[in-house]
């Protein structure tokens, strides 16, 4: 979508509060189209400006038990206070204040051998959840002009971890006696997610895409080989992304860890976008795969997720923003600005990046 740039677009319409204390707020400009349309254009490979993430409204309603159990609710009533609880399969989670997150309650695993999954795992009847109340509560939340992305915590390997605990889940992937059962369980999970997402789209037609979690790596390397991922996880993922695309929606993967080796699997699985943690070389990933997958590129490579660079002068910020746009805002290989780095952008850098990316994507 080629829309000529006007300096009036840099007029700040309003400013969002900072994501975390000590970080700058987020100025929202007078965009030529809605923020929702801007994100959709980027997903379609026809970006208008560089998407930073503030254009997206993530949606994780408490009607889905996973969101409560994981202390990750985002909806009209705000985030719920962290609490212990059971997820959609009855797995008990508990909040750990020292890490600010939840973990499966330690003890006896929910599932000890994947071959027993059909006897142990009961898929819930999600139609019995109070969707009508959630729909009524979130009408305004889903009418804010942003791109609405439905969170799905615990995708495939993460779900297996929740059932078995990490060590047992990792072993199951390489145990010849469990691999067929792992593949079957992943396929059944895919069918379940498709049924759930289809229902969610009927309740919330404002949903534009799905943001699905499945962490695959540690700080140094993937948890498992690309071959294992291709055989046991990719087919199930592809089934889900195919469904999402069949409904005209978009599929973004959240996957933490050092995962350069797994990017071909992300592409094969049909994901539209992936925002790597900054422990990855996002520049190399963009160079290798930016024409096949929208990458969340960080302007500089550091080990920090929030503070991507030391404070710079205004002139340095302007030069850096233009350098970023020249390198990563290209027709045929659009990018997103890395959401982790985007939290700490100075107002000068943000304004210059908006202008520079607008002009770059017009070329």
Please indicate, yes or no, whether residues 26 and 102 belong to a single structural domain of this protein: no
168 and 302 fall within a common domain? no
Does residue 190 form part of some domain? yes
The 10s digit of each residue's pLDDT in 132-152 is: 999 999 999 999 999 999 999
- Determine the pLDDT at residue 128: 97
> What's the rounded mean pLDDT across residues 13-20?
83
pLDDT value of position 305 = 42
For the chain, percent of residues with pLDDT exceeding 70:
96
> Are residues 79 and 157 located together in one domain of the fold?
yes
Q: Band of the pLDDT at 310, cuts 50, 70, 90?
A: low
What does the pLDDT average to over 2-19? 92
**Could you tell me if residue 266 is inside a domain?**
yes
Shared domain for 148 and 198, answered yes or no, is yes
Contact predicate 200/151, CB 8 Å: no
289 in any annotated domain: no
Instruction: Please check whether residues 182 and 305 belong to one and the same domain.
Output: no
Distances (CA, A) of 8 to 4, 146, 353: 12, 21, 15
User: Is residue 284 a part of any domain in this protein?
Assistant: no
**Are 112 and 220 in a shared domain?**
yes
**How far, in Å, are 120, 268, 280 from residue 201 at the CA level?**
29, 25, 33
Tokens of 206: 């404002």
Per-residue pLDDT of 154-195, as tens digits, reads: 999 999 999 999 999 999 999 999 999 999 999 999 999 999
Residues 67 and 204 in one domain: yes
Count of domains observed in the chain: 2
> Does residue 280 belong to any structural domain of this protein?
no
Query: Which token pair is 274?
Result: 């992936």
Q: Please indicate, yes or no, whether residues 88 and 124 belong to a single structural domain of this protein.
A: yes
Residues 192 and 253 in one domain: yes
| Claim to verify: residue 270 and residue 300 sit in the same structural domain | no
Model pLDDT for residues 51-62, shown as the tens digit of each residue = 999 999 999 999
Q: Are residues 182 and 321 in the same domain?
A: no
Judge whether 104 lies within some domain. yes
- For residue 288, is it within any domain? no
Q: For position 148, which CATH number holds?
A: 3.20.20.210
pTM: 0.95
Domain that holds residue 189: 63-274
Please identify which residue in the block is written with the tokens 């840099």. Answer: 10
What CA–CA distance (Å, rounded) separates 315 from 321?
Answer: 10
pLDDT tens-digit readout, 43-99 = 999 999 999 999 999 999 999 999 999 989 999 988 777 788 999 999 999 999 888
Q: Is the pLDDT of residue 29 over 90?
A: yes
How many CB atoms neighbour CB 283 within 10 A? 17
Q: What is the mean pLDDT of residues 326-330?
A: 96
Assess if residue 143 is contained within a domain. yes
């Amino acid at each position: 979508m080629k829309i000529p740039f006007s300096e009036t677009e840099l007029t700040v319409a309003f400013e969002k509060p900072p994501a975390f204390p000590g970080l700058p707020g987020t100025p929202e400009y007078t965009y030529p189209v809605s923020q929702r349309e801007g994100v959709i254009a980027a997903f379609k490979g026809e970006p208008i400006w560089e998407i930073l993430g503030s254009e997206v409204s993530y949606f994780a309603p408490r009607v889905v038990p996973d969101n409560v159990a994981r202390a990750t609710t985002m909806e009209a009533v705000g985030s719920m206070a962290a609490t212990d609880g059971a997820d959609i399969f009855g797995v008990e989670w508990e909040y750990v204040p020292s890490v600010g997150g939840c973990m499966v309650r330690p003890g006896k695993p929910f599932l000890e051998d994947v071959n027993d999954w059909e006897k142990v795992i009961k898929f819930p009847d999600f139609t019995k959840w109070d969707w009508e109340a959630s729909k009524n509560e979130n009408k305004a939340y889903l009418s804010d002009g942003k791109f609405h992305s439905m969170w799905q915590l615990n995708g495939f390997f993460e779900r297996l971890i929740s059932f078995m605990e990490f060590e047992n889940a990792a072993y199951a992937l390489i145990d010849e006696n469990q691999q067929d059962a792992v593949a079957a369980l992943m396929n059944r999970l895919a069918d379940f997610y498709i049924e759930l997402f289809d229902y969610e789209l009927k309740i919330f037609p404002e949903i534009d895409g799905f943001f699905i979690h499945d962490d695959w790596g540690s700080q140094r390397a993937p948890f498992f080989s690309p071959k294992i991922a291709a055989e046991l996880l990719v087919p199930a993922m592809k089934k889900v992304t195919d469904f999402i695309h069949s409904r005209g929606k978009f599929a973004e993967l959240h996957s933490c860890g050092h995962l350069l080796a797994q990017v071909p699997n992300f592409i094969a699985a049909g994901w539209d976008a992936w925002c790597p943690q900054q422990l990855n070389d996002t520049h190399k990933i963009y160079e290798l795969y930016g024409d096949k997958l929208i990458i969340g590129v960080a302007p500089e490579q550091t080990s920090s997720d929030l503070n991507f660079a030391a404070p710079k002068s205004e002139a340095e910020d302007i030069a850096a923003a233009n350098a970023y746009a020249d390198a990563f805002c290209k027709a045929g290989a659009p990018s997103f600005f890395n959401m982790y780095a985007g939290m700490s952008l100075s107002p000068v850098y943000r304004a210059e990046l908006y202008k520079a990316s607008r002009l770059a994507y017009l070329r």
